[in-house]
Amino acid sequence: MSAFLANPNLRLVIFGGKGGSGKTTSAAATALHLSKPNPQKRILTMSTDPAHSLGDSFDIAIGNKLTPIVDNVWGLEIDSNELLEEYKARHGEVIKTIADRGTYFDKEDVEDFFTKSLPGLDEVMAIIRIADLLKAREYDLIILDTAPTGHTMVLLSLPEEMARWIHLMDMLMEKHRYVMKTMIGRYKRDECDEFIDSQTEDIRRVRQLLTDATTTEFVPVTIPEPMSIFEIEKAIETLKGYNIPVNSIIVNRVSDKERECPFCSARSEQGERYMQEIEQKFAPYNLVKMPLFPHQIRGEGLTEYAQILFGERKYTPPAKAGVLPKVTPLAKGGFSDILKKELNFVIFGGKGGVGKTSIAVASALYLAQHKPDRKVLAFSTDPAHALSDSFVQHIGNEITPILGVDNLYALEIDGTQLLKDFKQDYQDVIDETFEKFLGGSGVDVRFDREVLKELLSVTPPGLDELMSLRKIMELMKERDYDLFVLDSAASGHLLRFLELPHLVRDWLKSGFRLLTKYRGVVKLTKATELLLDLSRDVRRILEVFSNPQGTEFVMITIPEEMGVAEMGDLSASVANLKIPSFHIIINMIIPPTDCGFCAAKRKEQQRYIQEIEAKSPDHTVVPIPLLPHEIRGLESLSELAEIMFGE
Amino acid sequence: MPLITTYLMFTLVKAMTEPLCMVVEKIRDMADEELYGEDKIKQELLELQMKLEMDELTEEEYAIAEAALMERLEEGQHRGGEE
């Protein structure tokens, strides 16, 4: 087995895994490490997670521009909305012309579509940006720091989907080409054809690179914890399907067995068990074990991390922590005031790996047990669900009663499946709509039929998330449950999800305008009724989201630089969306200790705890200690809930 | 006037005015359909609802317009019942 990333011909390295497993740190450290022996090699580290932390890791402000990090390393944190604007400025006119030629819509309609944003844009724009970078050949190596697993798998499936969108555009042009040939006897290629050709070539290049084992590697990053292992296991399976090469797996936070501290040894014993699982499950891969550090890895610390990562140095834990910090035991029950409210909707959000699922599930359990007259539904929208693991009970895409708690239910919403069901249930409405809007040319229905067939088989980005939202709206309308507890995707995609109702409303308004405009030509009663229903539901969910009596967004963070930075961004956006928020949970605080290792970590944490408290005077800060054991199953969930709610 | 002449005159006038009556009736039916036809009212209702969702109408304006439509629907059903 070759050493970690030893292939000198690498052009693309993708780091992926569950939130909080150390993807960004690994990506940043790798870039710095590979740059040194190859000063002529131009290396770009690019983050595709909408909640970027690459800049925090390098300790340099990056943003949506190519930013020099060291001599031959650059950083880039893509901003999909900015990229969309650039894309529209470059190609908007051509796309409008294609739409004008191939559909029933006129320029004004298409113009209106162009003012709208799209769901699922982050992944689409990331692929387009990668395509541009490959075309320009400015960088010899691109290192991707990705969003947590679920959305990264979406990202990697996109090139194939995008190739079909481009094919669809080509089909839309076919009618125009036919008309021209019939009328003037020949067809002269123009900028639309060139655009389609160049896009096809760009996407082909991305697809080729992704699957080329001589130049590409996907590096799963995990920690010895069950959910993290489960996520990379699923990811590796998906990657096999796409033929994306995997050789090494980074296992972060492998703790040292030989410690005297009972807290440390309890945690390391548990880690040891999962380490064995990792060694068994991923035996064919090169396992790169990284130690648990008593401090966070950022800025200059990346060099040490990289040396250990590439096997150039052994880790020696600090002998002594110096002066032990004086910390008071953590207060309990900071979350109990939630019990006094009659909430209908609680959203738990934060960076990946901060413990969202455990806290959301523990809260749902406690609220169900202490409000026996209310029916509670815990649900998740993250494509990489974790509720089953937390409840230790299979859940899936059906509402499942939680064993042992009469009024608690759970649901892992599968947006992709819902989208399939929707297409099936409303096939007649979809057919009617597209046929009426695509037809009317009188040239040859053959083209329209083919376009229609293709159109119905492609999936626009973000529709699965829209379907998840629709499911929630449906459940709320049915009033079967009194309290909904959402375990959301990590902050970047949670934000996209919370913005979705606004975005859908915008598109619906355009849809209604079109239906009104063409009412003399096409009558789409069923489609109109369906859209009206959706619009009312979206309005209702917006009302629910912003109702301070019924809804609360609970921020979860950990006392580390990246956790705190991401919390700030998410808080601002949540406030902007007018979603009420009154609590901040700081999770994984090391309990008071005499152990040098724990004390060093705790000392570092203290600074961030104080920073969070100072920055959030309007919020109740709820501290939660790091528990010596994992939180799975009702018993340990109750223990966690007791810390949060108990007096 | 002999009876036969009266009869002929009557038939002639009837023959001349009947199509006109039919046209008038047709126009009235069409106007009724336009005003009271269920399909038509349903389309108008959908349009109103779309306007509400597009924020082109306030809830109050919508309620007034919807009530007017419902009145027309009832009137239509009433007329349908009479015929």
Contact between B53 and A536 using a beta-carbon 8 Å cutoff: yes
Decide if B69 is inside a domain: yes
**How do residues A280-297 score in pLDDT, each as one tens digit?**
999 999 999 999 888 889
pLDDT digits (tens, 9 = 90+) for A21-34: 999 999 999 999 99
Q: Which pLDDT band, with edges at 50, 70 and 90, does A637 fall under?
A: very high
Residue A483 clears pLDDT 90, i.e. is over it = yes
Band (B34; pLDDT cuts 50, 70, 90): low
- The pLDDT assigned to A488 comes to 86
Instruction: Give mean pLDDT, residues A191-201.
Output: 94
The pLDDT of residue A613 is above 70: yes
- The answer to whether B62 and B52 have CB atoms below 8 angstroms apart is yes
Give the model's pLDDT for residue A458.
67
Residues of A in contact with B43 (CB under 8 A): 519, 523, 525
Q: Which residue segment(s) compose the domain that B70 sits in?
A: 55-83
CA distance B41 to chain A (A): 12
**In whole angstroms, what is the distance from residue A561 CA to residue A570 CA?**
14
Residues of B with CB under 8 A from a CB of A: 42-43, 46-47, 49-51, 53-55
Chain A residues within 8 A of B49 when measuring between CB atoms: 532
Paired strand residues for A583: A554, A620
CA distances from A167 to A44, A162, A455 (A): 31, 9, 10
Q: How far is the C-alpha of A402 from the C-alpha of A407, rounded, in Å?
A: 8
What is A12-83+117-309's CATH number? 3.40.50.300
Instruction: Give mean pLDDT, residues A212-224.
Output: 94
Q: Once rounded to an integer, what is the mean pLDDT over residues A336-361?
A: 91
Q: Bigger pLDDT: A41 or A123?
A: A41
Burial letters for A266-298: b for 16+ Cβ neighbours within 10 Å, e otherwise?
ebbebbeebbeebeeebeebbbbbbbbbbebbb
Q: Which of A519, A523, A532 sits opposite B53 (nearest CB)?
A: A532
- Tell whether B33 is covered by a domain: no
Strands (E), A203-356: 216-222, 248-254, 286-291, 345-350
Residue B75 located in a structural domain: yes
Partners of residue A539 in chain B, C-beta under 8 Å: 53
Flag whether B23 is in a domain.
no
**Distance, CA of A252 to CA of A243 (rounded, Å):** 25
Stated as kind and residue range, the H or E segment containing A276 is helix A262-281
Give dist(CA A136, CA A130) in Å, integer: 10
User: Considering its fold, how many domains does chain B have in total?
Assistant: 1
List, for residues A499-515, the tens digit of each pLDDT value.
Answer: 888 888 888 888 888 88
CB A483 within 8 A of CB A375: yes
Cβ distance A294 to A258 under 8 Å?
no
User: Tokens standing for A281?
Assistant: 């499950």
Give residue for tokens 């990697």.
A156
Q: Does residue B39 form part of some domain? A: no
B22 within a domain of the structure (yes/no): no
Distance (Å) of CA A535 to CA A3, A459, A505, A512, A542: 55, 21, 6, 10, 11
Helix, strand, coil in percent for chain A, rounding step 5? 55, 15, 35
Residue B82 Cα, gap to closest chain A Cα (Å): 29
Q: Coil, strand, or helix at residue A53?
A: coil
Which residues fall within 8 angstroms of residue A205, CB to CB, at 6 or more apart?
A: A131, A134, A135
Question: What is the rounded average pLDDT of the residues A206-211?
Answer: 90
Which residues share a beta bridge with A44? Answer: A74, A142
A246 closest CA partner among A278, A206, A274, A287: A287
State which H helix or E strand residue A12 sits in: strand A12-17
- Other beta carbons within 10 angstroms of residue A437's beta carbon come to 20
A336-645: what fold?
Answer: Rossmann fold (3.40.50)
**Range(s) of chain A covered by CATH 3.40.50.300:** 12-83+117-309, 336-645
Q: Please state which of the ranges A33-42, A279-288, B12-21 shows the lowest mean pLDDT.
A: B12-21
Q: What is the DSSP string of A534-585?
A: HHHHHHHHHHHHT-TTTEEEEEEE-SSHHHHHHHHHHHHHHHHTT----EEE
Q: How far apart are CA A567 and CA A551, in angstroms?
A: 19
Q: What is the mean pLDDT of residues A5-17?
A: 93
Quick one: DSSP state of residue A61?
Answer: -
Buried b (16+ CB within 10 A) or exposed e, B47-76: bbbbbbbbeebeeeebeebbeebeebbeeb
Do the Cβ atoms of A133 and A423 come closer than 8 Å? Answer: no
Between A150 and A581, residue with greater pLDDT: A581
pLDDT digits (tens, 9 = 90+) for A414-424: 988 888 888 88
**Which pLDDT belongs to residue A10?**
93
Whether B74 maps to a domain, the answer reads yes
Share the mean pLDDT of chain A. Answer: 87
Backbone angles phi, psi at A487, to 5 degrees: -95, 105
Residue A427 has pLDDT above 60, yes or no: yes
SS3 assignment, position B64: helix
Q: Residue A520: closest CA among chain B residues belongs to which residue? A: B43
> What is the distance, to the nearest Å, from the Cα of residue A534 to the centroid of all Cα atoms in its chain?
25
Q: Each residue of A72-122: pLDDT tens digit? A: 999 999 998 899 899 999 998 999 888 888 877 777 888 887 777 777 788
SS3 (DSSP) at A413: coil
* B35 domain-assigned: no
